[in-house]
Structure 1
């Protein structure tokens, strides 16, 4: 199926590589140079895939124009103005309108992240900034492994954790699967939103689904002898034991997790 793809890239490194790959596959690709141009696009969410890779460096956050809130653009608050931020977002708003082809979605996600890793991301560059990474995708398990692998590698490049000695992968995997399986109940018409805010001092992750939510206090205690052979509740226990901070919103459909840096040099620099 031919897809409409919008790429917003102020350095053109990722855009050029992806334009060649996607155009060769028969997709329609449009490239814009900045967020300001993107928020003036009419019906931006009619694109099947929107990829944003922007620098925010000592500049004001541009407000939406003409009522276009650009929900598939990176969310940058006024507090971010003046801070050097690398904002990356991958959004697939229209995949849920069709009969979802998980393999197609997975291939798109893998292609984008592979090209970003090869042509954009470097250790030296990453360690100098505050990075925001966002994914907004239909409920599907298959693309999640690529996203999880990408995020854990980003955290390791920042020096927050050594992934070989950390269970960060396990905690994020539990959160992603819970959002798709228990939150959205595998309903491809509902989206999963994954956000990572990364600095040398910490990695903050938010996973949000469009399900009804749940009462966190109703989760059975997996350590209670009566629940030893029950699987429910174990995922939340893993997450709480691995992460330094864990918080659910009141509705129970958004989970925020924080992993503090294990590098003494970065912890010290924060104080």
Structure 2
């Protein structure tokens, strides 16, 4: 069949770009992809059709199943409203030695009465202004939305690239995301480890989260995130409006109660202790200060009044 001029131009643009252009079906499975996917994902356009987009989401240091659920929930919300969605994610295919972070954009369009999901993936490279970066101090107040926790964890670690290796930045970002998610779940929404586990096992995790988010006792609570990045250290303070918990046993390693240890795991304490140089909770247990020394010879004691 002869191609129209517009079709030829479209194919030329799609195949000529270094950005990955692809289409997905209603279940997020790859239908087509341009040749750029071979260079970036190390997989052919034909082979990628065996996978869904969420199959390729990678997360080594945390529960990847939960991360995929969060992203899938966001995708489903966007599909219902046909609104574009953008997010960052680490992608790992069988032929990629290490995961690579991409900015992914999806749009929903109709062609001859059929709905198509068109996507673009762009590798996140070093910021062109990073060489000029000196320091940053900022504060955010976020709602109890799990997808926001993932987005904000990228934002508040972006400028670490000036001073740290990518692998270390990834660890810090994942640790922060866990702390923020747990501030939302166990703090503001007052969800116990047992309740969360039961909801996941019954495949109603997001339904349960939505119920708590709309509850008048919890819906107006917020998570405050303050941070400072300099050449010597990165400091993050995360505060929720929950009841807090007895963190002293977990930080001291004295607790041998299985239920308490599972709660500590649920709050990401064991992970965070392995990532950050200092982990300090307030007396109530609803605020944590995290410090990572970048240059330990220049690093000084963190000021809790940041």
For this structure pair, what is the TM-score category when the shorter chain's length is used for normalisation?
0.3 to 0.5
TM-score, normalised via structure 2 length: 0.43
TM-score, normalised via structure 1 length: 0.48
- Structure of greater Rg: 2
